[in-house]
Structure 1
Amino acid sequence: MKRYIFLFAAMLALVSCEEFGPVFKDKYEDPEPYEYYTDADFDPDSFVTIAELKSMYEPGKPIVIEDDIVIKGQVTTSDAEGNLYRTMYIQDSTAGIELKMGKTGLYNMYKQGQWIYVKCQGLALGAYGRMVQLGYEDVSGKYETSYIDVQLLIDLHILKGKQDDPVKPIVVTSAEDILSEKYVGMYVTVKGLEYGNEVFCIIYDKNGNSTYLSDGSHGIDSWAFSEEGFAEYLKKGYVSNPENYEPAFYSVSQYFRLQGADLQVRTSGYAEFADSKLASSGITAVNAGRISLTGIMTVYNDNYQFLLIDLDGVRIE
């Protein structure tokens, strides 16, 4: 049966921001009760695991799910720090998956550890850069999935269950595990990392010409660039003709290594911690092999990447 817990009354008043813009942060009114779902609200035969759902996808062949199936998982992410945009991840004991929610400020509506039921009939299962996603059909055909950005559709498909303890991360300690599909989409802690002193970042001049910063650090010692951070970086002389560039937000991939395997930690320029220095979190040569990162394992084409939720996910052991 449906039961009652509390949620902030003002949550439905959140509005969308520009792409990768900061999430809404403000003081909310006193909580009011809302209904939450349990297993008893669904046909027992409709449940499939997240792994079973993901197995329905064939590369390059997105599908609109026709069967009346339901997945159940716990929320593992939060967009409070701005490193996730219009998306969240859920997982069960078998796998994790990205839900393309199409809303910002999701951390106010879906708490880490909360159970979520997803009625999959009518949703689209596809991928972006091999990362399997569940969303809505992209009628333009440009992408394999689109955002579930209409509140009516969200209310029909994404149903809130009870609040539970946050998911404990799976501990990963081998290169084999970060170079496989095994934990893609799941909440993990990768231990024993060393900093690779290497980045990947694409910047654009005023004419739209791109410059690739890779195969070295290029003096980038922060997780990413806010506008202010990039303006300061231009003053350091690492980029030729800095007068041709304007301040902008840039994502950066910082490389870490485990037993010779590369792991790209990609951070949005709109993250609250974009300009934070790696050294302030203990990311230094002296701590090689002692770095642990907690977040979501992802993949983009042939590169296995890592998504930090916040800097609490960075530890020196």
Structure 2
Amino acid sequence: MKITSRYWLHASVLFPLIISSFYCNKEFDEPPPYTGPAIRSNMTIGTLRNLHVTGSFEQIMDDSIIEGIITADDSRDNFYKALVIQDTTAGITVKMEGYSLYNQYPAGTRILIRLKGLWLGDYGRNIQLGAGVDRSVASNPSLSGIPQALFGRYIVKAGNSGTVQPKTITIDELNDSYQSQLIRLEQIEFAASDTGKPYADIVNKQSVNHTLKVCGGGSIYVRTSAYARFAGINTPRGNGSITAVYSVYKTEKQLLIRDTSDIQMNDLRCTGTGPKTLLNEDFETGIADTELILQGWKNIAEAGDRKFMSKKAGDNGYTELSAFATGQPSVITWLITPAINLNNSANEILSCKTKDGYDNGAILQVLISTNYDGGSTPWKAKWTQLAAMISKGSTNIAANWVNSGNINLNSYAGNVYIAFRYEGGDPVSTIGKHTTTFRLDDVKIIGN
């Protein structure tokens, strides 16, 4: 009995140790790699849209699932309580009862939507997907959004697919098949009466339509919410392209931008009449008696350390340079315009005005280059001197501005740069001083 008892005592101690040793040495299988959500789409967005009859509401009763990439969210507040998604066949606006949706569903996210129980409807013919029908106004029922508490029931995220590339089309190709898709139009500009205007009325909280005109003919509206974060920014004046979500309201075609970066209009206008202004600098924005700083311009000292300065005389701004009192034997400074594109114009004319003072031999040249790289060593590029009339010979500051005359640039094409190159010096010796003061104003280039 004692032996049996002792045997079971030893066994009771050893058995857990054996089991423990077995589990400590067990090698577990690696978990399978993540392959996305378990559900798969079985319907295209294009097929879903075809289920809708304009002016009606249709509830989806089968187990259909669509998949698409979010192309527009509410991060800039021009899309309110909605996401816009598209696949390779079509796009659709999904109404959502929530704010800051972009935190959970940012643009570029691929999502799947379980359609069973959801509804199709339209707002002014623009087809939408929602959770139900609001009939509180019997004469004007509307589609209601998916409640926030039900987002997870209907929407499944399937990873990030990156930026969706817009479809570049012409305005004549726009039709209902492009609703809620990201599209791109080129050679387009705001109507003259709609340039330089806020995108929306932030004072009265009114959404605004601005007219876009196409160079080859045709027009379309850009509609912006008063609550968009960019509503107070002014529309551009140039010509270029727009990337936007295409929408309709009844018979009206509309474009909805996600942010102002969707609009790139830096080229010459095509629908205006009269001369085109390619450059117009009056130097009024500079701070008097400080180094001249203008957006896109270069102010570079090649020899010495003197640069063009902003100056004021009465209510007139201009720029000025002199080697006087520098103590430097050589003062060479370049003032260079931004690149000017001459491909979209003809018969271009450059003009400017100058004054000189205390002339003792310094020079101011007007030059043009087609191979300057926009960098900090312009003297390495090839420059051609232009036949400009420059003020000279004044013992004091000249009383009147001298017009350069009309300098013809018609023989040039592509991007060009105009430079104003000052060359003088103020050596310690009284011999060889060339410290003439030059003033420059009203630099303009116009073309047809």
Q: Distance in 1 between matches of 2:196 and 2:59?
A: 42
Shift of the alpha carbon at 1:184? 1.4
SS in 2 for 1:153: helix
How many Å separate the matches in 1 of 2:110 and 2:35?
9
1:253 alignment counterpart? 209
- 2:273 counterpart of 1:273: no
Change (3 A) 1:265 1:115: same
Q: Secondary structure at the match of 1:72?
A: strand
Q: Structure 2 CA distance, aligned partners of 1:130 and 1:197?
A: 30
Partners of 1:224 and 1:139 in 2: CA distance? 28
Counting helix residues as a fraction of each chain, which structure ranks higher?
1
Cα distance between partner residues in 2 of 1:50 and 1:132: 11
2:244 alignment counterpart: 295
Post-superposition Cα deviations, 1:87-128, rounded to whole Å, max 9, x if no partner, equal 010000000100001111011111211111000110010101
- Report if the CA contact (8 A) 1:76-1:113 is conserved: yes
Largest Rg, 1 or 2: 2
Q: Secondary structure at the match of 2:47?
A: helix
Q: Shift of the alpha carbon at 1:37?
A: 8.1
2:96 corresponds in structure 1 to 101
Indicate the SS of the match to 1:185: coil
* Residue 257 of structure 1, CA deviation: 1.7
Q: What pairs up with 1:171-250 in 2 under 5 angstroms?
A: 171-172=168-169, 174-178=170-174, 180-198=175-193, 221-227=197-203, 248-250=204-206
Using the alignment, how far apart are the partners of 1:220 and 1:291 within structure 2? 15
The answer on whether the counterparts of 1:86 and 1:100 sit within 8 Å (CA) in structure 2 is yes
The 1:197–1:102 alpha-carbon spacing in structure 2 relative to 1, beyond 3 Å, is farther
AA at the equivalent of 2:220: L
Higher strand share: 2
Structure 2 CA distance for aligned equivalents of residues 143 and 191 of structure 1: 38
The correspondence for 1:161, drawn from 158, 162, 168, is 158
What does the per-residue CA deviation read over 1:161-218, in whole Å, with 9 as the maximum and x for residues that have no partner?
A: 111211111112x22123x1231110111111122235xxxxxxxxxxxxxxxxxx5x
TM-score normalized with structure 2 length: 0.49
Tell me the TM-score normalized by structure 1.
Answer: 0.68
1:118–1:159 contact (8 Å) kept in structure 2? yes
Distance 2:36 2:245 in 1: 26
Letter in structure 1 aligned against 2:262: G
Deviation by residue 1:209-248 (Cα, 9 ceiling, x = unmatched): xxxxxxxx5x981111112xxxxxxxxxxxxxxxxxxxx2
Partner-residue secondary structure (3-state), 2:159 = coil
Is the Cα–Cα contact under 8 Å of residues 171 and 185 in structure 2 kept in the other structure? no
Aligned to 1:129: 124
Whole-Å separation in 2 of the counterparts to 1:130 and 1:263: 17
Shift of 1:143: 2.8
Residues 265 and 306, structure 1, Cα contact 8 Å, conserved in 2? yes
Contact 1:89 1:185 in 2 (8 A): yes
Q: Determine if contact 2:97/2:148 at 8 Å carries over to the other structure.
A: no
AA at the equivalent of 1:261: G
Give 1:110's aligned residue: 105
Say if 2:305 is the partner of 1:305: no
The alignment yields a C-alpha RMSD, in angstroms, of 1.9
Distance in 2, Cα, partners of 1:37 & 1:303: 43
CA spacing shift, 1:37–1:77, aligned 2, 3 Å = farther
Equivalent of residue 45 in structure 2, options 50, 54, 57: 50
Report the Cα distance in structure 1 between the residues aligned to 2:88 and 2:210, rounded to whole angstroms. 29
Distance across 1 between alignment mates of 2:134 and 2:76: 31
Q: In structure 2, how many angstroms separate the alpha carbons of the residues matched to 1:73 and 1:37?
A: 17
Instruction: Give the aligned residue type for 2:192.
Output: N
2:149 counterpart of 1:152: yes
What one-letter code is carried by the residue in structure 1 that aligns with 2:221? Q
**Does residue 264 of structure 2 align to residue 315 of structure 1?**
yes
Identity, in percent, stands at: 30
1:78 aligns with 2:48: no
Contact 1:177 1:183 in 2 (8 A): no
Structure 1 gap segments, 5+ residues each: 1-35, 199-216, 228-247
Q: How many residues align structurally? A: 229
- Secondary structure at the aligned position of 1:189 is classed as strand
2: distance between equivalents of 1:101 and 1:251? Answer: 20
Aligned equivalents of 2:35, 2:157: Cα separation in 1 = 6
Shift of 1:61: 1.9
Match in the other structure for 1:3: none
In 2 relative to 1, CA 85–194 (structure 1 residues): closer, same or farther, beyond 3 Å? same
Gaps in structure 2 of 5+ consecutive residues: 1-33, 268-448
Alignment match, 1:18: none
SS, match of residue 96 in structure 2: coil
Distance in 1 of aligned mates of 2:55 and 2:72: 27
